[in-house]
Amino acid sequence: MTAGTRRRGALEHEVLGCLAAAGRPLTVAEVQADLGADLAYTTVLTALSRLHAKGALIRESAGRRYAYAVPADPTAMDARMTARRMARVLESGEDRAGVLARFVADLTPADERLLGELLAAGREERSSRP
């Protein structure tokens, strides 16, 4: 790999590391400056926008632009990102029932119990809404 190329996902990991290390929301220009001048502003903006769309970052207004930060609870962020990936995989196939059946068949007994509890809690929550 040349100095200007990165393996897939490497830039997103660098951006997340930059924001985590900063401990405060950063603008696109601040992230770009931290990561190095070899990155175009639009490249950094694209990475930040994609991470925000995935739920990996929060975004707040900072004047006429946005500042980005990692959520306070990174565990919840990981769960949200994984759930979105799972949903995309499920939506991309034609045999939704088959995929779900195979997924459930591969669960451990403990995960089956947990899934049952989560489904029951979700039903209760939906039924209690006005």
108 and 65 part of one domain: no
Q: How many domains does the chain have?
A: 2
Higher local confidence (pLDDT), 124 or 105: 105
CB atoms within 10 A of CB 79: 12
- Is there a domain that residue 3 lies in? no
Average pLDDT over residues 10-19: 91
- Is there a domain that residue 99 lies in? yes
Residue 106 binned pLDDT confidence (cut-offs 50, 70, 90)? very high
From 1-5, 12-16, 18-22, 101-105, the region with the lowest mean pLDDT: 1-5
- Is there a domain that residue 115 lies in? yes
- Has residue 1 got a pLDDT over 50? no
82 and 123 part of one domain: yes
Residue 81 binned pLDDT confidence (cut-offs 50, 70, 90)? confident
Higher local confidence (pLDDT), 74 or 21: 21
31 and 80 part of one domain: no
39 and 82 part of one domain: no
- Is there a domain that residue 4 lies in? no
Q: Domain containing 114: what range? A: 74-127
Q: Where among 22, 47, 69 does a domain terminate?
A: 69
The candidate with the shortest Cα–Cα distance to 69, out of 81, 51, 84, is: 51
- Has residue 101 got a pLDDT over 70? yes
9: left (phi over 0), alpha (psi -120 to 50) or beta: left
Classify 91 as helix, strand or coil.
Answer: helix
CB atoms within 10 A of CB 66: 19
